[in-house]
Structure 1
Amino acid sequence: MNDYVSALILGIVEGITEFLPISSTGHLIIVNQFVGFTEQFANMFDVVIQLGAILSVVVYFRHRLIPFGNYKSAKNQEIFELWKKTLVGVLPALGIGFLVGDYIEELLFNTTVVAIALIIGGLILLYIESKKPAFNIKSMKQLTYRTSLLIGFIQCLAMIPGTSRSASTIIGAMLLGASRVVAAEFSFFLAIPTMVAASGYTLLKNGLALNSHEFLVVAFGFFISFIVAWLVIAGFMSYVSKKDFKPFGYYRVVFGIIVLMYFGFIPA
């Protein structure tokens, strides 16, 4: 397969799945079974295109995340407060990821684990939505530091591929009383330091030695991921303001079963 076609496919997959509660890592692991990148380049490519998706969050929410003008203005103080809550939320992932991240990657990064995690996460999402939870946190201002930290611990479940960082943070936030919109927004914000730290660590570990062709392939994938993720964020925020997460739960269960069947773990 042509490298640019592979980059296009993976960029689209990453852009669509990074912020939806369906597991970008799980989808990339599966798609990489069919895309012909070598293992080392594939790992590095996946990391870089994730950064493209993260950049889309900063651009889309720039007025919520980037301070402008007077440092002491009420708007900027609100932005600083949001960043502090986000950084508190990322602490568990930094600590636990540092301690066991390599072990988890070596042991669990395979299609069986991805499929099982997809199914279990989908069933949990469907269960929560069926209970019609009461939401008492209806804005980011109402999100406390304690709740941010607890969501951060729940996010660590996403170290299991197929679980989904987005799904774990959204489910965690909803269980702690956050509305769907607040849960989705905090999931986006929490992704920035979480994924930058994870990507930076991976790049430092594996290096970024690229020839000119590889650099162009990575840059193309980065651009595709950024554009697709930006469009997905816009559509997702519009969706969650009106509807629930049940379709994503059903998708996870069905997709997980298909993956198990395709890779031979359930008799066809």
Structure 2
Amino acid sequence: LHLEGPFISAEKKGAHPRQHLIDGFENGFADILQVYGTSLEHFAYITLAPELKNSKEVIGELVNRQIKVSLGHSAASLNIAEEAILAGASGITHLFNAMSPFHHRDPGLIGVLTSSKIAHLQPIHYGIIADGVHTCDSAICIAYRTNPRGMMLVTDAVPALGLGDGVHHLGDVTVDIRGHRAVLLGTDTLVGSVCSLDECVRYVMKVTECSKEQALECATLHPAEFLGITDRKGTLDFGRDADFVMLDEQLSVVANFIAGKNVFTNYAMSKRPV
């Protein structure tokens, strides 16, 4: 599981309800256990804002417990971000979104991609929402050309994916969907995406002009490298989990397999059942 919140910046909360946020780790790592429970073995990584009080201590303890830390929903300066990376954080959550914009005197979290202070720790992995809404094409290209090995494609999709245009209720949040744009009803605040991962793969290949193989690695190998699970996931190799997707020449999904079992077939895309 990826835990995104509640230890994030109120200034960069995005669609997260303010009343659920926690503004710092007043009691250090004890606050993690208080919020998430004492059993953390099912958690792969946690997104937090590094400017929060005692965050470096918490990052170190999470990493000691084999839980990855990604920086996001943050107004942190580059210096604070670098300190968090040196403390053990190794990723950035949906780059460019819910963080301070790039500034030539202090590029914030975005500057981590080229920081000389942490160059020996490269590549820093970063998620990016390549849906044509969350991130400008030029920004996607800048990120990819700066650190291609670190790019991880994420959808940031909400449960309304596939429901079509209109107003939808997701828990206590009401979402208005128009095309690929999902916003909180009555606002311009993006609330995740309604774009599938294969669409993101095709989009990043189009805007960066990378190869099919490179685009697919952004959705498969790179996330597995970030999580440290390439012994099981991310490649088609002997001894790996037989979880894979079959695509046509246009990179549209034909079928999905989990543990070698066919769990989905898109008969509209295939000439015969798989």
TM-score range normalised by the length of the shorter chain? under 0.3
Question: TM-score, normalization: structure 1?
Answer: 0.23
Whichever structure has more helix as a proportion of its residues is 1
